[in-house]
Amino acid sequence: MFSPRQRKILRLIEEHQRVRVEDLAEQFATTPQTIRKDLQRLSQLSHVVRFHGGATLLGGVEYEPLAFRVAQAPEEKAAIANMAASRLPDGCAVFLNSGTTIEQVARHLSGHKGLRVIVDNVDLAAKIRSYEGFEVIVPSGVVRGKDGAIMGAEAVDYLRNFRCDYAVIGAAAVAEDGDLLDFDIAEVQVCRAMISHARHVILTLDSGKFGRSAPVRLGHLEDVHTVISDSAVPEWVAPLCAEMEVELIVAEPIDA
């Protein structure tokens, strides 16, 4: 099906999520034209998605299992979550959407006081309801069995009754044009309601999410006020954030 070089290229894409033609041409000591043909072959067989100057792993139509996501970049997520929590003042109202990084954010909120937290996940609500002085609110809707996320039109309508100081959200991917992407349209609709009813939106995600692909558009980087990621964030992210007037914060490891 594939030549030896094409198989090696596919393994590189699976490992790094995205590759560039010029880098591959140098690595394999061949011409950019040859690499483009290799990537076209991989694209024709639905293994990768081409973009100008390179390729990325096919996003697929379903997110990885929860256990797999929890195990991905745990130190980076902890640092990101700690930074995000530090940006939330006592006494504020905040939306939290579902996600493994957001769960870490909730843990770091335990020392805060007087927060009103509207969260679209019953499992996460159960974990933070015991925090002293917290008011925890969950919308009505359908509970997704695999992770406790609350979805549906009822949840969206309920969230529209609030105007929060902050929304702390995640995304499955951020494309190079600034699109925020995810996998579940029902979950995306709930998150969109949070974004549109918050005064300040904080996007938290590890650097591996940049340049990836997913089938559902959540929004755009211009809808966000602050992005918090880790030190491996790709070079193209900072200029894009600057163009959109979005604050980019790189979270250092907690024990650094």
Instruction: Give the tens place of pLDDT for each residue, 9-40.
Output: 887 876 676 789 999 999 999 999 999 999 88
Residue 210: DSSP 8-state: B
Q: Cα(182)–Cα(59) distance, rounded to whole angstroms?
A: 10
Q: Please tell me the predicted confidence (pLDDT) of residue 57.
A: 65
CA distance 8 to 102: 35
pTM: 0.76
pLDDT of residue 99: 86
Tokens of 136: 């925890």
Percent of the chain with pLDDT over 70: 89
User: DSSP letters of 107-150?
Assistant: HHTTT--S-EEEESBHHHHHHHTTSTT-EEE---SEEPTTT-BE
Using CA atoms, how far residue 83 sits from 89, 92, 230, in Å, is 12, 16, 10
Q: Which residue has the higher pLDDT, 56 or 6?
A: 6
- The b/e string for 137-160 (b: 16+ C-beta within 10 A; e otherwise) is ebbebebbeebbbbbbeebbebbe
What are 237's two structure tokens? Answer: 């992210």
- Of the pLDDT bands very low, low, confident and very high (cuts 50, 70, 90), residue 58 is low
The mean pLDDT of the chain is 88
Q: Using the predicted structure, report yes or no on whether residue 65 has a pLDDT greater than 60.
A: no
**Domains delineated in the chain:** 4-57 (1.10.10), 66-250 (3.40.50.1360)
Tell me which residue of 93, 96, 99, 95 sits closest to 112, measured CA to CA. Answer: 93
What is the distance between the alpha carbons of residues 163 and 231, in angstroms, rounded to a whole number?
A: 32
Q: Using CA atoms, how far apart are residues 183 and 187, in angstroms rounded to an integer?
A: 8
Range ranked top by mean pLDDT from 66-80, 208-222, 240-254: 240-254
Identity of the residue numbered 249: I
Contact 117, 92 (CB under 8 A): no
Distance separating alpha carbons of residues 22 and 82, to the nearest angstrom: 37
Which amino acid is residue 201, in one-letter code? V
Q: Which residue has the higher pLDDT, 89 or 4?
A: 89
Sole residue written with tokens 């483009």: 36
Query: What average pLDDT does this structure show over 206-221?
Result: 89
Q: Are 96 and 225 in contact (CB under 8 A)?
A: no
**Helix, strand or coil, per DSSP, at residue 32:** helix
Q: What is the pLDDT of residues 113-167, one digit of tens each?
A: 999 999 999 999 999 999 999 999 999 998 988 889 998 899 999 999 999 999 9
